[in-house]
Amino acid sequence: MFQPRHVLAAALSVCSIVAQSISSNIVGVAVDPADAVVPGAEIRLVEQASGAERTTRANDSGLFRLNNLPPGLYQLSIAAKGFKTQTQSGLQLASSETRDLGRIVLTIGSVDQTISVGAQVTPVQTASSEKSSLIDGKQLTDVAIKGRDMFSFMRLIPGVVDTQMGRDVTAPGAIGGLTINGNNTGKNFTVDGITSLDTGCNNCVASYVPNLDTISEIRVLTSNYQAEFGRGSGGQISVVTKSGGREFHGTGWWTHRHEQFNANSFFNNQTGLPRARYRYNVAGFSVGGPVTIPKLFNTQRQRLFFFASQEYTRQLESNPTQTRYMPTALERNGDYSQSVDGRGALIVVRDPASGNTPFAGNRIPATRANRYGKAMLDFFPLPNFSPAPGTIFFNQANFQQNTSGRHPRRNDMVRGDFYLTSKINGYVRYVKDTDDQLAVFRSTQFDGYPVDHPNPGFGVSGTINYTISPTLVNEATMGMSDTVWGWFSPPGKQPLNSLLGNPPRLFPLPTAPESAKGSCPVNCPSDYLPNFSFGAVPVNVNDHLKTYFSEHQADSRRSFSRR
């Protein structure tokens, strides 16, 4: 249960209603074999998955233009009196693209005769000056990646450098490791034209990231893009989600990774540590098709379509092995007669009350010990290994630990597309990420006080297109994205002040319950441990213990030093 008094950093919620159009256009000119224009030619465009149809006519200059087309695979037919019908199939239209088909030569003949032409596999972009790259659905399906993270495909794009080498699974901060044309900031990430970024952290975290099986295409604009993309100068990553078609389709998947397939690290083998737990299970499904009731509704399967998907991620995230120096049993009782630095020289403990002369036998008398200092030392775990002479950690560390933290995630997506008439079409889409990480070694450099990091997010969007005339189209798009960024100690895992013997504080904590309105001042600190750090030698000393307060961040920190 989420309790406000356990909040360690205030949750950040960001809504975005900035939209960019993902609809595309097709332009061309109909001409005869003598390169003379053919005015009034009838143009018919069919989206092959849904069967949605758009028609227009060439103007007096033979020019035709079909606007506000959703990305997809199309078939174009051109018919004119005295000419054979020309058909181009396999026109793959990407998002925000203007495809210039150039001058299409019609062959003299009867209109009931048809000439079929296959579209170019890699057409040259001549209608705009932007530099962009497309990762289509076939590449998303055929190229194997380890963690089902869509940002892994950015390595295929010229000019993009990915500094995150792991990418074990999809993560909200995955976009932060990308550099586009030398720029690692100012990037923009959109899903169906709606920004999916936490703008409060300089666009470093995505509100949600669709799973791979929900993505129709990924387009990356690196330079010279149009003014509508001016929100981010560091590159644009645009994702278009899948829609349903006239036929039912579905997929299911499960991937599994386990530490038993991994080799142990060199230093773990040297010190006898086992492999850290490394376990990933990613499973999910997707299904799409027409919304139809036989003989009653949408019997032609061309008016209403759906697509839905869920992906479940279960993981134990491994962490770097902690190698530290912890207080020994002798040191906890004031005996430093065996405490040496990294060179093996005795660490001399001096008595400040007698002119900094060394304590006899390098031992602090029990009568001089401070109970709070003793409690601090006892808070840390005892040493658990003794490095052999000549090894890298000899006289440097006496404690090692590795562990993993759970990090379950779930991605949900549902989309509905409608083609009410040849003039009215659109879609609505909802995506949600459920994300809850148990971060170990976050508050302490030893296991025992993990921090819970919930980071859920969601996004909704919708578009409606209305073709007023062959030369006038109205498109309306609206959407919102939202994310939560929170840190708090799980119940029963709070690092409370009592662990240090309740050292004195400058100001007393309020005694009234924090939940009682009006009984607590503006700053309501929780009774957590303060900040304290240990310095000097050995070099791998447990050097800090982070402090977390309530959401009000009361400023009651203290600092202690070991010399």
Boundary-marking domain end, from 368, 395, 422:
395
Say which residues have a Cβ less than 8 Å from residue 544's Cβ, sequence separation at least 6.
445, 531, 533
Instruction: Give yes or no for residue 546 having a pLDDT over 80.
Output: no
- For the residues 457-465, what does the mean pLDDT come to? 92
Evaluate whether residue 355 is within a structural domain: yes
pLDDT digit string, tens, across residues 301-319: 889 999 999 999 999 887 8
Q: What's the average model confidence in pLDDT over 91-114?
A: 81
Q: Closest Cα to residue 423, out of 376, 374, 382, 475?
A: 475
Task: Say if CB 420 and CB 398 are below 8 A apart.
Answer: no
The answer to whether residue 333 is domain-embedded is: yes
The H or E element containing residue 331 is helix 329-332
Q: Is the distance from CB of 100 to CB of 119 less than 8 angstroms?
A: no
Task: Characterise 266 by phi-psi region: left (phi > 0), alpha (psi -120 to 50), beta (else).
Answer: alpha
Q: In this predicted model, what pLDDT tens digit does every residue of 473-487 receive, in sequence order?
A: 888 889 999 888 888
Extract the tokens encoding 443: 């508050």
pLDDT score recorded for residue 414: 97
**67: confidence class by pLDDT, cuts 50, 70, 90:** confident
Instruction: Answer with the residue of higher pLDDT: 292 or 186.
Output: 292
pLDDT digit string, tens, across residues 232-243: 677 888 899 999
* Distance in angstroms (rounded) separating the CA atoms of residues 257 and 282: 9
pLDDT at 562: 28
* HEC string for 325-349: ECCCHHHHCCECCCCECCCCCECCC
Q: What amino acid is encoded at 451 in this protein? A: V
Q: What is the pLDDT of residue 253?
A: 93
Q: Name which of 44, 68, 26, 33 is nearest 463 in CA terms.
A: 68
Position 284 pLDDT exceeds 50: yes
CA distances from 447 to 173, 495, 550 (A): 24, 12, 22
Using CA atoms, how far apart are residues 339 and 362, in angstroms rounded to an integer?
A: 9
Domain boundary among 377, 395, 413: 395
pLDDT band of residue 11 (cuts 50, 70, 90) is very low
Top mean pLDDT of 175-189, 212-226, 346-360 is at 346-360
Average pLDDT along the chain: 81
Contact 419, 302 (CB under 8 A): yes
Q: Which two tokens stand for residue 305?
A: 């379509």
Q: Closest Cα to residue 219, out of 82, 92, 337, 383? A: 92
Residue type, 179: T
Q: Is residue 111 part of a domain?
A: yes
pLDDT score, position 180: 85
The pair of structure tokens assigned to 306 is 């759906």
> Within a 10 A sphere around the Cβ of 512, how many other Cβ atoms?
11
In a domain, 283, yes or no: no
Give the model confidence (pLDDT) of 315-366 as tens digits.
988 788 899 999 999 999 999 999 998 888 999 999 988 888 999 999 999 8
Mean per-residue pLDDT, 410-417: 96
- The CA–CA distances, whole Å, from 189 to 134, 172, 206 equal 15, 12, 8
What pLDDT sits at residue 131?
73
String of DSSP letters for 51-88: --EEEEE--TTSEEEEEEEPSEEEEEEEE-TTBPEEEE
Residue 340 lies in a domain: yes
DSSP state of 277: P
Domain count, the chain: 3
In a domain, 363, yes or no: yes
- Return d(Cα 164, Cα 176) in angstroms, integer: 9
pLDDT higher than 60, residue 543:
no
- Say if 253 falls within a structural domain: no
Instruction: Give alpha helix (H) positions in 173-271.
Output: 266-271
List, in sequence order, the alpha helices (H) in 347-455: 371-379
What are the CA-CA distances from residue 150 to residues 31, 189, 239, 424 (Å)? 43, 12, 10, 32
108 versus 128: which is more confidently predicted? 108
Closest CA to 441 of 489, 405, 488, 487: 405
Token pair, residue 137, equals 């659905």
Domain around 534: 495-563
**DSSP 3-state assignment of 23?**
coil
Domain boundary (74, 89, 118) is at 118
pLDDT grade for 462, boundaries at 50, 70 and 90: very high
Structure tokens at 194: 């709606």
Handedness of CA 389, 390, 396, 400 (dihedral sign): negative
Residue that the structure tokens 């040259």 belong to = 124
Query: Looking at the predicted structure, is the pLDDT value of residue 507 above 60?
Result: yes
Query: What is the rounded distance in angstroms from the CA atom of residue 25 to the CA atom of residue 56?
Result: 13
| Strand extents, DSSP E, 362-408 | 399-401, 404-406
Rg (the chain; Cα; Å): 32
Residue 127 domain flag: no
What per-residue confidence (pLDDT) applies to 168? Answer: 85
State both tokens at 562: 């070991």
Given a contact cutoff of 8 angstroms between Cβ atoms, the answer to whether 501 and 372 are in contact is: yes
Distance CA 561, CA 536 (A): 9
